[in-house]
Amino acid sequence: MDRFEKLSLLTENMDVEEGEKLDTAFKSCPITSLTEKHPMVTYAKVAGGKTIPLLKSVITSVCERNCKYCSFRAGRDFRRASFTPDEMANTFLDLYQKKTIEGLFLSSGIAGGGVRIQDKINETAEILRMKKNFSGYLHLKIMPGAEFDQIHDLLKWADRVSINLEAPNPERLNILAPKKNFSDELFTRLKWVDVIRKNKTPNQNWKSKWPSLTTQLVVGPSGESDMEILKISDYLFKKFNVARVYFMTFTPVLDTPFENIPAENPIRGNRLYQASFLLRDYGFTFEDLEFGQNGLLSLEKDPKRNWAEINLRNKPIEINRASKEELLRIPGIGPKRVELIAKYRNQKIIQTEGDLNALGLSISQVGEFILMNGRSPIYQLKWVF
C-alpha cells in the first residue's frame, strides 16, 4: 500500500483512541485534496487562542497491550499499519507544504515496548526540527514506560507533550487496562516532566521554552465518580502545572471487551470540562464543587451556576466593588469579561440594565447573584414592571 493508504489506516481510529472529539476546542474533518482515503485532521486551539489544523496520527496501530476499551488493543481484528520515522516526517511535510495542515499530533500503539516506540516518536520529531527545519506545532506523546532521558529529549522538540493516565487511580486503571501500571509506567512520567521543566533550563529546546503538558482520563466504563476524576485533575493542575485534562467520554468499540457497555452520556463529559476549568482558571477549589451522593456532578446545571445558587443567592456580590476573584464566581462572567468590567468601572458606575448589556451581560444571566450600586437588579426589574 502507498503511504497515504497507510496514513488512512493509522488515523481512522484516532478519535476513539485519543478522545478529544467531545472537547469544544477540537473537531475533525477529512483530507480530501490528496487522497480518497481520508486521514484525520484535528482543529486545535494553540497559544494566543488561534485555531490550527493538525494531522493526528500514530507511528503504528500495532499494539501489544490489551486495554479493554481501545480500538488498537492486542487481538482486535482490523487492518494495521506502521510508519518509519522518515515516512511519518515526509508524509506529514507533504500535507503541510500543500497547506492542508499546520501541525502534527503524534502518538502510537505500543509494539516492542514503550522505550522502542518512544525512540520512533523522538526520531520523527528530530527529523522534522533538525533535518527539515519545521518550526510549526508538534504535540508529541510520552509512551508508558519511556525513559527519563527520552522524555528530556522529547521536550526539546515539542510545543506540547502528553501522557494519558486513562484513570484517576490504580484501581480504576486495572479495570480499563490490566497490563498498565498506574504509578510506575504513567504517573512517574508526569513527575519527570515536572522535574525537567522545574530544574533544567530550556535552552536546548527548539524555541527556548519548555512545552505544555496534558493528560487524558476515560470517563464511564470503570465506574469512577466525578469526584475521583476531579480530585486527581485538581492535583495535576496544582502539583505538575498540567495545562489541560481531557475527558474521553466512553463510546463502545466493536470487538473489544467493553463493546456491550452503554456509551457514557456526553453531557457528563461537558460538566467535567466545566468543573476542571473552574479549578484551573477561576480560583475554585475542589471543596467548592458540589457532588451528589453518588459522587457525580449535576447533569442539569453547570457546576458554576450550581455553586452560585447555593452560595450567592442570599449573599449577592456588589459588581462595582468586587475583586477579580469574586467576579469570577458569578455565572456568565469569565476572565475576559472581568477585564471589561474593570475598564468599565473606571469610567462609570454599573447601575442599570443598559450597563450590563454594554458588558455583554443580561439580568436573566447574572441578576440574582449581584448588586448594582447596592441594589438588586432582579428587584429593580420587578419594581419597574
CATH at 119: 3.20.20
Counted residue by residue, the chain has a size of: 385
Of 188, 217, 246, the position where a domain reaches its end is 217
Domain-embedded: residue 180? yes
pLDDT at 44: 79
Domain that holds residue 338: 316-384
Task: List helix spans (H) across 98-218.
Answer: 114-126, 148-157, 170-176, 188-199
| Whether residue 127 sits in one domain with residue 12 | yes
pLDDT at 11: 85
pLDDT at 47: 72
| Whether residue 160 sits in one domain with residue 21 | yes
Domain-embedded: residue 256? no
Given a cut of 90, whether residue 15 has pLDDT beyond it is: no
pLDDT at 18: 40
| Whether residue 338 sits in one domain with residue 207 | no
Is the sign of the CA dihedral 282, 160, 72, 177 positive or negative?
negative
pLDDT at 22: 31
Q: How far apart are CA 318 and CA 232, in angstroms?
A: 34
Residues 320-348: tens digit of each pLDDT: 999 999 999 999 999 999 999 999 999 99
Residues 249-306: tens digit of each pLDDT: 999 999 999 999 999 999 999 999 999 999 999 999 999 999 999 999 999 999 999 9
The total number of structural domains in the chain stands at: 2
- Low-confidence winner among 146-150, 206-210, 338-342, 370-374 (lowest mean pLDDT): 206-210
Q: Mean pLDDT, to the nearest integer, of 47-64?
A: 91
List, as one string, the DSSP characters of 45-74.
E-GGG-EEEEEEEESB-------TT-TT-T
